[in-house]
Amino acid sequence: MKTICPLVGLDHLEFYVGNAKQAAYFYEQQFGFAPIAFRGLETGYRKAASYLLQQGHIQFVLSSGLGDDNTISEMLARHGDGVAVIAFTVTDVRQVYQTLLQHGATAAIPPTSIDTEAGQWRFAAIHGYGDVLFKFVERRHGIFAPGFVPYSETIPSRRETGLFEIDHVVGNVELGAMDRWVNFFIQALGFELLAHFDDKTIVTEYSALMSKVVQDPTGKIKLPINEPAPGQRQSQIDEYLQFNNGPGVQHIALATRDIIHTVRRLKAAGVAFLKTPLTYYDSLEARVGKIKEPIDELAELGILVDRDARGYLLQIFTQPVEDRPTLFFEIIERHGATSFGEGNFKALFEAIEREQARRGNLEPVGRMA
Ligand code: FE2
């Protein structure tokens, strides 16, 4: 019998960062997010300072610990800045939580109700891959979450960049864990297996990975999960797992309706992207057919193109946004295509490996510590 998916959509991603005030400035100035709400000492909350940033339907929360003994600080020491919580909007927190526990989930936050004059919230969480929490949120009225107040500080001028929703969130897990998580999403939440790539499909000279994509039945929530496959040298997934000290969110794909505009804005604001060799564009039209965008502009910006049976997509990847080679972003514009740019994997992974080599992390496997 087919399970009905109880998730309505992605609600927000929460990042634990060393300095939320400065990280908020980075996402405002480089990616065009607007600060909407705040919770911290000034609002009577003494555990953490959190900024809610918004752009289109995208909601990011940036949180820093305020004490030296709290969870956030411990997580930061282990993983560096990165995504700590993937939050889904649901219509019945209690029911989702019970279902997940019946399917073997590990409890993190039991169903909690907070009703005040400021709002009504229900939430619960389970442990996801690595130290990432999967949180489930029901917001009946009121601002984002308990304790948050509208952000009132003056902000320096910001330029919108056209990003409007989260397209997919990718997790890197340890060897052997991919199928466990894929089956969990399918069995507990009624997700579907959308795509599957093994180390025969995704292979460069040096590294290989395996990837499966699960999505909810409406296609709104897409969660690819990668695990390393044995390669001749340390794969990009191994590098991530080493520097993140375990599994976690590898990249977040943000959707735009005009990737040329978005990428121009991001580059002007200082966002660093992976470079695409000009030879990639030589026979582009022969490979992907007619597209609307001028190829010379795509080549100038390094934007990749791929086509599947339903249409085409344009995509580009940033450099890691942390000192550790862990989290990065993808900017994506879909024209009917529902895939993830498989035709670009080889060119993309070669670009990633050039960067890995610059970091001294593309040693033969036997020589890695
Ligand atoms: Fe992606």
DSSP 178-207: HHHHHHHHHHHH--EEEEEE-TTTSB-SS-
Contact 136, 87 (CB under 8 A): yes
Q: Calculate the average pLDDT of the chain.
A: 91
Q: 364: pLDDT confidence band, cut at 50, 70 and 90?
A: low
Ligand 1 mean position to 308 CA, how many Å? 15
Ligand 1 mean position to 62 CA, how many Å? 22
Query: Tens digit of pLDDT for each residue in 103-133?
Result: 999 999 999 999 998 899 999 999 999 999 9
Ligand 1 mean position to 214 CA, how many Å? 13
Lowest mean pLDDT among 30-34, 268-272, 277-281: 277-281
Whole-number Å distance between alpha carbons of 233 and 120: 51
pLDDT of residue 233: 73
Query: Tens digit of pLDDT for each residue in 148-206?
Result: 999 877 666 677 899 999 999 999 999 999 999 999 999 999 999 987 877 666 656 66
Ligand 1 mean position to 255 CA, how many Å? 11
pLDDT of residue 344: 85
pTM given for the model: 0.94
Q: 5: pLDDT confidence band, cut at 50, 70 and 90?
A: confident
Ligand 1 mean position to 66 CA, how many Å? 33
Ligand 1 mean position to 18 CA, how many Å? 26
Q: Which two tokens stand for residue 1?
A: 């019998």
Ligand 1 mean position to 251 CA, how many Å? 7
pLDDT of residue 343 exceeding 50: yes
pLDDT of residue 369 exceeding 50: no
Closest alpha carbon to 345 in 183, 209, 152, 144: 209
Q: 2: pLDDT confidence band, cut at 50, 70 and 90?
A: low
Question: What CA–CA distances, in Å, run from 246 to 42, 86, 104, 206?
Answer: 35, 17, 21, 21
Ligand 1 mean position to 168 CA, how many Å? 7
User: Considering the chain, what percentage of its residues have pLDDT values greater than 90?
Assistant: 74
Ligand 1 mean position to 63 CA, how many Å? 24
pLDDT of residue 230: 78
Ligand 1 mean position to 224 CA, how many Å? 8
Ligand 1 mean position to 252 CA, how many Å? 7
Ligand 1 mean position to 156 CA, how many Å? 31
Contact 330, 253 (CB under 8 A): yes
With a CB cutoff of 8 Å and minimum separation 6, the contacts of 121 are: 113, 114, 115, 137, 138, 139, 140, 142, 145, 146
Whole-number Å distance between alpha carbons of 164 and 350: 29
pLDDT of residue 141 exceeding 80: yes
Helices (DSSP H) in the chain: which residue ranges?
20-31, 71-79, 93-102, 178-189, 236-243, 259-268, 284-288, 295-301, 345-358
pLDDT of residue 203: 59
pLDDT of residue 207 exceeding 70: no
Q: Tokens 């500080």 sit at which residue?
A: 153
Ligand 1 mean position to 45 CA, how many Å? 36
Query: Tens digit of pLDDT for each residue in 81-100?
Result: 999 999 999 999 999 999 99
pLDDT of residue 235: 84
Query: Tens digit of pLDDT for each residue in 286-299?
Result: 889 999 999 999 99
pLDDT of residue 368 exceeding 60: no
Domains of the chain: 9-150 (3.10.180.10), 163-359 (3.10.180.10)
